[in-house]
């Protein structure tokens, strides 16, 4: 496998406070990489930095092209779909409109129609709610909508910030099953930030541990499972 995304020396700051101090990592083409770390370690900030949502510096290379100087919309237009924490759906707009917005940069009408139907087969409840304002959906339904909205871009790379947050275990399973299907049946690559480390590691081919803005470990999921200290801190057993 070759790297789709390669990040070197990434720093990011809010105002005066530097939150990331030189983060290096890669996401393999078609692979699933997971980013673990305690609260406040800088996981969300890392994803935001990739999309230019915070001030950042360092080298970010996507598909061979440097993207560290692009605007958020520029990065998205290269096929990076970010499902942010807090979901980022358009609360006043309908489910259908949210899905259309996910594909707003695309021109292939037919493909868009097919992708809407595909999202509805992944998340049938969205079809029932298609005319409803997104803000009136339950938290779980909104998370499904956020994932569906991201899929509508036909992304190369998905950035998923705690996709299981606030969801019932059943729904979490369902969403992760969909990630697995996507990763096995399409060429999409994923970078997942997750508190539910056990679940995320099942899907991942590579994991990074982030501590106060630094990568402190990089390895395969099994390396974490087999290391007693790491297992205790991140998997809790």
Ligand X SMILES: Nc1ncnc2c1ncn2[C@@H]1O[C@H](COP(=O)(O)OP(=O)(O)OP(=O)(O)O)[C@@H](O)[C@H]1O
- What are the residues binding ligand X (CB under 6 A)? 14, 17, 19, 37, 39-45
Q: 33 or 44: whose CB is closer to Mg ion? A: 44
| Residues near Mg ion, by CB under 5 A | 44
For other proteins, which residue of 38, 54, 93, 198 counts as binding (CB under 8 A)? 93
Say if strands 3-14 and 17-28 run parallel, antiparallel, or are unpaired. Answer: antiparallel
Spatial CB neighbours of 173, under 8 Å, sequence gap ≥ 6: none
**6 near 26, Cβ under 8 Å?**
yes
Q: CA nearest 29: which of 63, 74, 61, 52?
A: 63
For other proteins, which residue of 28, 105, 174, 195 counts as binding (CB under 8 A)? 105
- In angstroms, the CA 86 to CA 72 distance is 17
**224 near 29, Cβ under 8 Å?**
no
**What's the DSSP call for residue 132?**
S
**185 near 195, Cβ under 8 Å?**
no
Task: Map residues 176-205 to x or -, x wherever contact with other proteins holds by CB under 8 A.
Answer: ------------------------------
Q: 19 or 137: whose CB is closer to ligand X? A: 19
Position 90 contacts other proteins (CB under 8 A): yes
How many helices and strands in the chain, by DSSP H and E? 10, 10
Position 153 contacts other proteins (CB under 8 A): yes
Q: How far is the CB of 88 from other proteins (least distance, A)?
A: 4
Position 84 contacts other proteins (CB under 8 A): yes
For other proteins, which residue of 18, 72, 138, 233 counts as binding (CB under 8 A)? 72
168 binds, among other proteins, ligand X, Mg ion, none (CB under 5 to 8 A by kind): none
Half-sphere exposure of 22 (CA within 13 A, CB side): 1
Q: How far is the CB of 27 from ligand X (least distance, A)?
A: 17
CA max distance for the chain: 52
77 binds, among Mg ion, ligand X, other proteins, none (CB under 5 to 8 A by kind): other proteins
Where does this chain bind other proteins (CB under 8 A)? 51, 53, 71-73, 76-77, 82, 84, 88-93, 97, 100-102, 104-105, 149, 153
């Amino acid at each position: 496998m070759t790297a789709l995304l390669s990040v070197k020396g990434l720093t990011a700051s809010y105002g005066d406070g530097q939150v990331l101090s030189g983060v290096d990592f890669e996401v393999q083409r078609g692979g699933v990489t997971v980013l673990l770390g305690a609260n406040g370690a800088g996981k969300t900030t890392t994803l935001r930095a990739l999309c230019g949502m915070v001030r950042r510096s360092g080298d970010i290379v996507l598909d061979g092209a440097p993207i560290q100087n692009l605007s958020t919309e520029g990065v998205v237009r290269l096929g990076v779909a970010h499902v942010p924490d807090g979901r980022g759906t358009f609360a006043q707009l309908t489910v259908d409109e949210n899905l259309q917005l996910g594909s707003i940069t695309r021109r292939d009408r037919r493909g868009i129609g097919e992708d809407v139907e595909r999202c509805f087969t992944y998340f049938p409840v969205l079809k029932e709610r298609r005319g409803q304002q997104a803000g009136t959906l339950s938290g779980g339904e909104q998370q499904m909508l956020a994932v569906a909205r991201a899929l509508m871009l036909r992304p190369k790379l998905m950035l998923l910030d705690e996709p299981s947050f606030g969801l019932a275990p059943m729904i979490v399973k369902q969403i992760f099953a969909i990630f697995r299907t996507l990763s096995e049946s399409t060429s999409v690559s994923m970078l997942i930030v997750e508190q539910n480390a056990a679940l995320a590691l099942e899907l991942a081919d590579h994991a990074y541990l982030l501590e106060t803005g630094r990568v402190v470990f990089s390895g395969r999921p099994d390396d974490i499972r087999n290391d007693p200290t790491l297992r205790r801190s991140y998997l809790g057993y």
